[in-house]
Amino acid sequence: MSDTATLARPAAQKTEHFDVLIVGAGISGVGGAYHLATQCPGTSFVVLEGLESFGGTWITHKYPGIRSDSDLYTFGYRFKPWTGAPIATADEILTYMGEAIEENHLDKHIRYKHQIKSAEWSSKDNRWTIEATRTDTGETARFTASFLWMCQGYYRHSEGYTPKWKGMDKYKGKIVHPQTWPENLDYKGKNVIIIGSGATAATLAPAIAADCTHVTVLQRSPTYFIAGRNENDLANTLRQIGIKEEWIHEIVRRKILFDQDVFTRRALNEPEAVKQELLAGVRAYLGPDYDIEQHFTPAYRPWRQRIAFVPDGDLFQGIKAGKASMVTDQIETFTEKGILLASGQELEADIIITATGFNLNALGDINLIIDGKPLDFAKTVTYRGMMFTGVPNMVWVFGYFRASWTLRADLVADFVCRLLNHMKKKGVRRVTPALRPEDKDMPLSTWIDPENFNPGYLMRGMHLLPKRGNKPEWQHSQDYWAEKDQLPAINLDDAAFVYQ
């Protein structure tokens, strides 16, 4: 974050004002626009998006096989039925989002190629001043907004995370990160190593295996997977008997969420039994002789990291067919031809793909300034993972890690709309979360409890995130089943909200 407190402004520059400015046109920002238009009629708003189109995650990632790892009945919006197979490709998600925009006339509110650089709050004017760079012309566009709705996601879109390994400069082949997949990457007839074992590696390996000579998935430690058919039997039955899609969407969502709730609680209360069930699912594909213990048995409890769904067991089928293999080992060094492992084995490859995750990006690389002072985000305390002490008129959307992200995007949107309507009724222009007298000595800790959830990108970036207290109001609970009742019941006149 820059320490420039006052932003240089050309005097003649045109400034547009909106009641609400939404950052980002990913699944959260487009959902936010829908909810604003329907729940706060008469509110003026604009969505600024740095990329050339909507979709966020689903246009940034262009690697072969890119798909969701959660079902679209719950990753889809509450308000728009999903009618396809539960696991969807990026193209199918983009089509769905495009329809949501078109059906609700949201396109007129979205401005693409506007990369926001700074947002400065003035308590004198009760406004944010936002500056964006037009990525097509290089011009600066300036806006003011009474309320800032941060839907910028959680990772940097321009580059993925690649650890620095010894000898990388010696390697003669190509190193590719899935987040910046080269358009014409030729992997046909090539030996490929994919480093990593998360959802991305599990998606990529089967998608390219048939064309490659061989794909080796190299992991430091194993991950849990759930294998199953990419079908929803309940949805199929309801469709067969002529139930309308709106009802199917609602019923199937409820059934999936019910089953996930049962599964989550079981994973917490009887982790060993759940672990054995997950491993049995993998064994069913790979057979009794495959070394499940070494390659598919994680050291952590199920559910401490997101469990990736493997539709139709495609990853395991690739392994069984001999087109893909798993290696669980440590990287000693890159060599000219590939990778030397700690065990002494050398893997040779024409291409090495680093499916090693994201760079956490808490505030979309936006320079946030409050009354002339740069915001030190890590010093704030979060109000339910949505608002922050000392930061006026701003909400951000950070979805669920385990359940679908969009479930929370919809719930946070309801909260924002209720808050905006409440402020209008009260005739106030500013709301700032603040610790109440009874919260003053509350112990503070990291944004998320690493015992509860600990993926690499969060562990690497935790020091950049706001603090959490020891009361539900001051925590980002990550529990959809509690929040679905708690968020709509928030008392907006609680002393945690200071209105002016």
Ligand X SMILES: Cc1cc2nc3c(=O)[nH]c(=O)nc-3n(C[C@H](O)[C@H](O)[C@H](O)COP(=O)(O)OP(=O)(O)OC[C@H]3O[C@@H](n4cnc5c(N)ncnc54)[C@H](O)[C@@H]3O)c2cc1C
Site for ligand X, rule CB under 6 A: 23-29, 48-51, 56-57, 61, 68-70, 75, 115-116, 151-153, 157, 200, 364-366, 397, 399, 404-405
Looking at beta carbons only, is 64 or 167 nearer to ligand X?
A: 64
The count of other CB atoms within 10 Å of the CB of residue 113 is 17
Q: How far is the CB of 42 from ligand X (least distance, A)?
A: 25
**How near is the Cβ of 330 to ligand X at its closest, in Å?**
25
Q: Is 409 exposed, middle or buried (0-12, 13-18, 19+ CB in 10 A)?
A: buried
Helix (H) or strand (E) holding 352: strand 351-354
Between 56 and 311, CB nearer to ligand X: 56
Whether 439 contacts 467, CB under 8 Å: no
Closer Cβ to ligand X, 25 or 307, answer by number: 25
Shortest spacing between CB 378 and ligand X, in angstroms? 19
DSSP state of 388: E
Least Å distance, CB 122 to ligand X, is 20
Which tokens in the block code for residue 268? 């917490």
CA dihedral 258, 263, 265, 267 (to 10 degrees): -170
Residue 254 CB contacts under 8 Å (≥ 6 apart), including other chains: none
State which residue, 67 or 469, has the beta carbon closest to ligand X. Answer: 67
In the complex, minimum distance from the CB of residue 358 to ligand X, in angstroms, rounded to a whole number: 7
Shortest spacing between CB 93 and ligand X, in angstroms: 8
Bridge partner list, 219: 328
- Report which DSSP code applies to 307: P
Taking the complex as a whole, the smallest distance from the CB of residue 361 to ligand X amounts, in Å, to: 7
In the complex, the smallest distance separating the C-beta of residue 400 from ligand X, rounded to whole angstroms, is 7
Longest Cα–Cα distance of the chain, Å, equals 74
Neighbours of 123 (CB within 10 A): 13
The helix (H) or strand (E) run that includes residue 129 is strand 127-134
Q: What are phi and psi of 137, to 5 degrees?
A: -110, -15
Query: Cβ closer to ligand X: 50 or 385?
Result: 50
Residue 128 CB-half CA count within 13 A: 30
Query: Which is closer to ligand X, CB of 56 or CB of 298?
Result: 56
Closer of 48 and 193 to ligand X (Cβ): 48
Rounded Cα distance between 416 and 12, Å, is 33
Task: Report how far residue 191's alpha carbon sits from residue 339's, in angstroms, rounded to the nearest whole number.
Answer: 12
Nearer to ligand X, 198 or 222 (CB): 198
Nearest CB to ligand X, comparing residues 75 and 224: 75
**Shortest CB 262 distance to ligand X, Å:** 19
* Residue 104, Cβ density class (10 Å: 0-12 exposed, 13-18 middle, ≥19 buried): middle
